Structure 1
Amino acid sequence: MERNGGDVVVETLTALGASHVFGIPGQNALGLFDAIRRSDLTFVSSRVENNSAFGADGYARATGQVGVLFLSTGPGALTALGALQEAYATGVPLLVIVSQVPRAAMGLRRGALHQLDDQQRSAVNVTKSTAVAQHSGQLPSLLADAWSLAQSAPAGPTWVEIPQDVLLEPTDVPPVTSVVTAVTVRPPRAEVVAEAAALLSAAQRPVILAGGGVRRSRGGAQALVALAELLNAPVVSTVGGKGAIRFDHPLSAASWIEDRHTTSLLEDADVLLAVGTAMGEVTSNYFTLTPKGTVIHVDAEARVLAANHPALAVHADAAQALTAIAAQVTPRTSTDGADIAAALRAAVEDRLAGQDVAAERALIRDLRSATPAAAQTFWDMTIAGYWAWSAWDPLDGEFHSAQGAGGLGFAFPAAVAAAIGTGQRTLAVSGDGGAMYSIAELATARQHDADVTWLIVDDGGYGILREYMTGEFGQATATELARPDFAALAASFGVPAHRATLDTVGEVVAGTFTARGPAVVVLPATLRMFSAT
C-alpha cells in the first residue's frame, strides 16, 4: 500500500517518542486512524471527545510525557474545548491533531459534513498555537514544532489541523525516522535574580508560596527545597503545588490555602516569594489575600506576573529561577521557619476541631490510609475534592485536580488514561453530578482493563452549589439531580461495583487496590465544607 499523509503523521509521532494516542475516530480523520493500524502506537478510544482530552491531560500529568490527542472535524473538535481549557490553564503539554474538510472546501459553505467556518479560530482561547497543514511535506516540521512548543515554558496544548485529502493522498515524503525539536526553557534575567536574592537575604520573615509551576518544572521541587532551607522559610503549597515539598518536611506549612491562618502567614511575610502560581482565586483564599510586604513573583507565563498584586516580576521557569536565586542568596541564620510551619498547622487543627466536620476529616484520613503512598490520585470539582485541595497529603504520589479551569468530569477519564500510561492503579474521586459527565468512560476502562478505582460520592445533586446557594440565598435552585444506581450501572459495563458507607469506605477502597482492572465504589453521603474562618 502506498504511504499517505496519515502515515507521515504517525511516523513523526513515533520519531518524537509518542507511545499512546487518545481520541475517537471521525469521517475526515479516517486516514489518520488507518495509519495507526500500521504503527506501534497504542490508541485509547474513549466515548466522548471531552473525555479524550481529559485522558490525554491525565496521561501527560502522570507520565511526564506529551499527551497526544486525535480529534475529528467540527463537533468532535468543539466537544473537546472544555477539557483543553483545563490543560491550558494548568500548563499541561498536549499535542492536539485535528482533521479538517478537504482543502477545496475550507473557508467555503459547500455543505461538507462537520464543516465550521473557521475551526482553527475556535481553538485560540484554549491552546498555545494553531496551525493548518496544506500538504504532507509540512507535517513533520509542523508536528515537531507543536511538540516542542507544547513543552516549552509555560507548557500547554498546541493544535495542528490536517485536511482530509492531505491525510489520504499518497505522499513522496521519505519515511520519517528523525525530527528536529527545540524545547525552550526560560531562564531568568540576571538583574532581577540579583534583586530577588538581595530582598530575600535581607528578609526577617520570608515565606514561600509554591505553585504548580514548581512541580511541572524539571528539577523544580529540588530547587524549591534547597532555597527554602537556605532561607529557613516556611513553604505553603497551592493546590497545584502539592508535592513540590513533602508535607513531612519541617519547613512545609502544607496546603491549607482556604484558611485564614494561612492567608495571614502569607500576608505578614516581609518578603513573599510566589513561584509557579498566578496567586489566583483559590490560592488567594478567594481574593482576600493582601500582602503587606514585598512580593517576588516567579512564573513562566508572563501574563500572570503581578496580575493580582504589585511584585518584582521574574519571568522564568521555576527551577531556573529558584536555582539562580539560591546561588546568590545569603543563608539566613534564623531557625524559626520550622516553628512557624508547625504553628500554622496547629492553628488549622484547632480551628477545624471547633467545627462540625469530623465525618469529612475522617473520610480524607480513611482514603489516605487506604490508598498506597505512591498512587496518583485525580479529583473532580466536588466537596470531597475541595477538602482534598487542603487536607490531602500526596506522600510519594501525585495529586491532580481540575482547579485550573474548574470544569466537571476530569477525574475519571484522566485517571483511566494515567493507569493505562503508567501501568499502576490510580484513584479517581467524583461527586454524582460530575460522575455523569464521564460515566460513558466505564466502557473505556473496561475495554482497556485499566487499573483504576473510581469513588463516586453520591449526595443527590451538585453538593457544593447547593451549599453555596443555600448560604447565599437561603435555598438552592436546580441543584437536585435524578441519577442512576451507579453500582448497578457499573456492573452492567462488567465493572465490579461496591457500595460503601462512611465507616467502611476506607476498607472497600483498599480492597480494590489488591485487584486488577477497573472498580467502582459508591458512597452515599452528604458532605459539607469547612469554614475558612
Structure 2
Amino acid sequence: MSGHRNGGDLVIETLGALGARTVFGIPGQHALGLFDALSRSDLEYVSSRVENNAAFAADGYSRATGEVGVLFLSTGPGALTSLSGLQEAYATAVPMVVVASQIPLSGLGARRKGMLHQLDDQKASAQNVTKAQFSVHHASGIPSAVQDAWAAAVTVPQGPVWVEIPQDVLLGRVLVPPVEDALAVPYDHPPRAELVEEAVRWLAASRRTAIVAGGGVRRSTHDAQQHLRRVAEMLDAPVVCTPGGNTAFPWEHSLSLGSWVEDRHVTDLLEDAEVLLVVGSSLGEVTSNYFTLAPRGRLIQVDAEPRVLESNFPTLGVRADAGQALAAISAALAETQDAEAGTAPGPAPQVSDWHGSTAAAVVAEINARVSARLDSQDLSRERRFMAEVRAAVPDRMQTYWDMTIAAYWGWNCWDAQSGQFHSAQGAGGLGYAFPAAVGGALGLGERTLAVAGDGSAMYSIAELAAAVQHGADVTWLIVDDGGYGILREYMEGAFGGATATELHRPDFVSLARSFGVPAEEVTVDEVGPALRRTWERRGPAVVVVRTLLRMWSPSHLEPQA
C-alpha cells in the first residue's frame, strides 16, 4: 500500500496528525493528486461550488469551532477566485491553512510553456490576503511546510496561510514514511513587563476609564473575556464592544454599552475618558464611528498585530495577545489596589467619577439616550424586524451576517448571548453569510442562521447545492429590498438619488425549492414564526422577507423634553 502513496497523501496525513477534521474546496486538474489522497483518508470533504465561497465556508467553520479551517484550491483561476474570501479571513484573523496546487515544476517561471492555469507568480497573488506563503518543491518538504503553516495560522494575530505544491510533486510516489504525528505550537505573545507597568500607572490614576473590546478579545485562547470583565469591574469602566468583539462582554452587565460604536453618545463617552483602553481592535473605520472619534485623554492599545498599534491614534501600544495582556493588567491592578489600601490580596473595585456620576449610572444614561434617539426616528419596522429575529433565535445559536442593512443593525444592537455573532465587517465583501453558515453548521453539527440581502444572496446562491449535498442544518434569511440597499441609502443621502443599485432578482422561494430546499416568503411580522419552523427541520431552509429596511441616524437631534 505504501508504494501507492503520493505527495497528496503526505498533505492529508500531516493535516490529520495536526487535528484537522474537515476540508473545504473544489478539485482541479493540477490538484487531482491531493483529492485522490483525500479519498483514502478519514477527513470529511465539503464540496463547495465557487472557490470564494469555499474560503468563506472554511472561515465560518473555524469561527464556529475554534479549529483551523482547511481549504484546498486548484491552480490559476481556482486559486484567484478564492482571494476575496481569504481577504475576509485575513482581515478578521481567522486561522486557516490553504493548500493550493501549482503547475509542474518544469513550467515554473517559464511562461513560454503556456500551461493551462499558469500564472507568472501565483504565490504573489496571495500575499495581500494571507499571513505567510510557502512553496514546496519536493515531497519530503511537505510535512514540515504544512506543519509550519499550521503553526503560523494559529499564532496571534491568527490568519490564513498559503502552501503551494506543484502538480507533479502531489502526484509523484513518495519514499517518505507515513506521517504519524505532527506538532504545531503557536508562538507566544505575552505583553512586555514595562508596558504593563506603565499602562497600570495610567489606569490606576484615572477616574474615568472606558474600554473598547475588539475581535482580539473574542479570538484569544487565554480567557480574555473573563479577564476583560475582571479589569472592567476593577476599574469601574464602561465597556463597548466592536462588531468583531460582539459577545466579548456581557450585554446585561451594568457597565455594558453593548456594541453601539456607531452612536454619537457612545463616541462622546469614549472621548471624555481620561484613559481609553482599547483591546484587540485597531480603532478602525466603524469602531471610531467613521473616524469622528477624537479622544481627549490618553490611549492604551493592546493588539497582537503590531502594524495596527498607533496606526490611527497616538497610543501606548502593547503588542500582545488580548487575554495575556488583560491577565497581566488585572494582576498588576490588584497589586496596586492592595498596596494602596494596605489590605490582604484581593482586588477592590476602583471608584470612578464621571462628573459626579458613577460609571453604571453613566452607562444607563447613555443606553437610554441611544434608545431615545431611535425612538425619535421612524424606525418601527427595522426595530420590529430585529426584535422578531432576536426573539426567535435560540441563545446558543451562532449567526452569520452578510454586508446588508440588517447586519449594520446587528453590529450595534445584536445581543448574541451564549451564541456568537459573525459578520463580514473585516473586509466587507458580499456573499459571506450563507457559505460561512454552512461551514459553521457542518463543523458544529447543529443549526446556524445566515442573514443576507437579495444583492449579497446572489453571490452565494450556488451553495444551496452544497448545503443540500452535505445536509447542512442552516437557515438562510434573505431580506429582499430589490437592490443594494445600503449603497442606495448612501447615494440618496450624498447625491439625492441612487444609480446602479436596483437589481432584477429571481423568485428566491422558487429558486430555493428547485434545489430541494424548503422555502417561504413572509412579512416582517411573520419572520419569527417562520424562523422557528425551520428549527424543526433537518437540512437547509430559506425564509424570504420582502421589505425595505433603513439605517438609523447616529446623530439625529433628540426630541426636546
- 1:22-57 Cα distance to aligned partner (Å, 9 max, x none): 000000000000101000000001000000000000
Q: Show CA shifts across 1:429-472 (max 9, x none).
A: 00000000000000011101110000000000000000000110
CA distance in 2, matches of 1:343, 1:206: 17
Structure-2 residue corresponding to 1:507: 529
Structure 1 counterpart of 2:485 = 463
Counterpart Cα distance in 2 of 1:437 and 1:366:
26
Q: Which amino acid letter does the alignment assign opposite residue 239 of structure 1?
A: P
User: Which of 177, 184, 201 does residue 187 from structure 2 map onto?
Assistant: 184
Query: How far off is 1:7 after superposition?
Result: 0.5
2:280 is matched with which residue?
A: 276
> Deviation per CA, 1:112-134, whole angstroms, max 9, x where unpaired?
11010100100000011001101
The alignment partner of 1:97 has SS state of: strand
Give the structure 1 partner of residue 291 of structure 2: 287
Does 1:333 find its partner at 2:336?
no
1:194-229 deviation per Cα after TM superposition (whole angstroms, max 9, x unaligned): 000111011100000000000000111111111111
Q: Distance in 1 between matches of 2:381 and 2:481?
A: 14
Q: Distance in 2 between matches of 1:419 and 1:439?
A: 17
What letter matches 1:459 in structure 2? D
Q: CA deviation at 1:332?
A: 4.2
Q: Give the counterpart of 1:27 among 18, 26, 29.
A: 29
Counterpart of 2:151 in structure 1 is 148
Shift of 1:181: 1.7
What pairs with 1:408-447 in structure 2 (closer than 5 Å)?
Answer: 408-447=430-469
Once residues 207 and 108 of structure 2 are traced to their aligned partners in structure 1, the CA distance between those partners, rounded to angstroms, is 62
Q: 1:293-312 to 2 correspondence within 5 Å? A: 293-312=297-316
Range with bigger deviation, 28-37 or 225-234? 225-234
| Partner amino acid, structure 1, of 2:371 | E
Instruction: Give the whole-Å Cα distance in 2 for the aligned partners of 1:355 and 1:180.
Output: 56
Q: Tell me, in whole angstroms, the C-alpha distance in 1 between the residues paired with 2:365 and 2:100.
A: 52
- 1:14 Cα deviation from its structure 2 partner: 0.4
- Which residue does 2:342 correspond to in 1? none
Q: Which one-letter code corresponds to 2:53 in the other structure?
A: N
* Partner secondary structure for residue 29 of structure 1: helix
Aligned-partner SS, 1:427: strand
1:318 maps to: 322
Please list the CA deviations of residues 295-353 of structure 1 after superposition, one character each: whole Å capped at 9, or x if unmatched. 00000000100111111000100001111011111344316222222221111001111
Q: Which moved more, 1:218-227 or 1:17-26?
A: 218-227
Distance 2:10 2:150 in 1: 15
Deviation digits for residues 270-316 of structure 1 (CA, Å, limit 9, x no counterpart)? 00000000100000110000000000000000010011111100010
Partner of residue 89, structure 1: 91
Give, in whole Å, the separation in 1 of the partners of 2:78 and 2:170. 17
TM-score, normalised by the number of residues in structure 1: 0.99
Q: Distance in 2 between matches of 1:36 and 1:344?
A: 55
Query: Which whole-Å CA distance do the structure 2 matches of 1:357 and 1:414 have between them?
Result: 29
Count of residues paired in the alignment: 533
Task: Output aligned runs, 1:125-164, within 5 Å.
Answer: 125-164=128-167
Q: Is the 8 A contact 1:208 1:273 kept in 2?
A: yes
1:202 and 1:351 map into 2 onto residues whose CA distance is 34
- Separation in 2, partners of 1:193, 1:414: 37
Q: Distance in 2 between matches of 1:262 and 1:514?
A: 39
Q: 1:201–1:332: 8 Å Cα contact kept in structure 2?
A: no
Partner of 1:415: helix, strand, or coil? helix
1:116 is matched with: 119
Contact in 2 for aligned 1:371/1:513 (Cα 8 Å): no
Structure 1 residue 414: deviation in Å?
A: 0.1
CA distance in 2, matches of 1:526, 1:452: 24
Query: CA contact under 8 A between 1:8 and 1:176: conserved in structure 2?
Result: yes
Counterparts in 2 of 1:151-230, with a 5 A limit?
Answer: 151-218=154-221, 219-230=223-234
SS of residue matched to 1:162: strand
Partner Cα separation in structure 2 for residue 210 and residue 98 of structure 1: 35
Partner of 1:12: 14
> Which amino acid in the other structure matches residue 231 of structure 2?
L
1:6-85 mapped onto 2 (5 Å cutoff): 6-85=8-87
Letter of the 1:308 partner, please give it.
N
Structure 1 gaps, min length 5: none
1:364 equivalent in structure 2: 386
Which SS does the other structure have where 1:126 is aligned?
Answer: coil
Quote the Cα distance in structure 2 between the aligned partners of 1:412 and 1:136.
Answer: 36
Cα deviation 1:93-140 (Å, max 9, x = unaligned): 010000000000011121111010100100000011001101110011
Q: Kindly state the Cα deviation for residue 179 of structure 1 after the two structures are TM-superposed.
A: 1.3
Deviation at 1:13, TM superposition (A): 0.5
Residues 497-521 of structure 1: CA deviation (Å, up to 9, x unaligned): 0111011011101111121110000
Deviation at 1:362, TM superposition (A): 0.8
1:175 Cα deviation after fit: 0.4
Percent of counterpart pairs with the same letter? Answer: 62
Q: What secondary structure is seen at the aligned counterpart in 2 of 1:124?
A: coil
What is the DSSP-based 3-state SS (H/G/I as helix, E as strand, rest coil) of the residue aligned with 1:499?
Answer: strand
Residue type of the partner of 2:87?
Answer: Q
Equivalent in 240, 244, 248 of residue 236 of structure 1: 240
The amino acid that maps onto 1:282 is V
Q: Structure 2: any 5+ residue segments left out of the alignment?
A: 338-347, 353-357, 556-561
Of 394, 414, 423 in structure 1, the residue corresponding to residue 416 of structure 2 is 394
Code of the aligned partner of 2:428: G
Return the alpha-carbon distance in structure 2 between the equivalents of residues 227 and 78 of structure 1. Answer: 44
Q: Choose the corresponding residue for 1:343, options 358, 365, 370.
A: 365
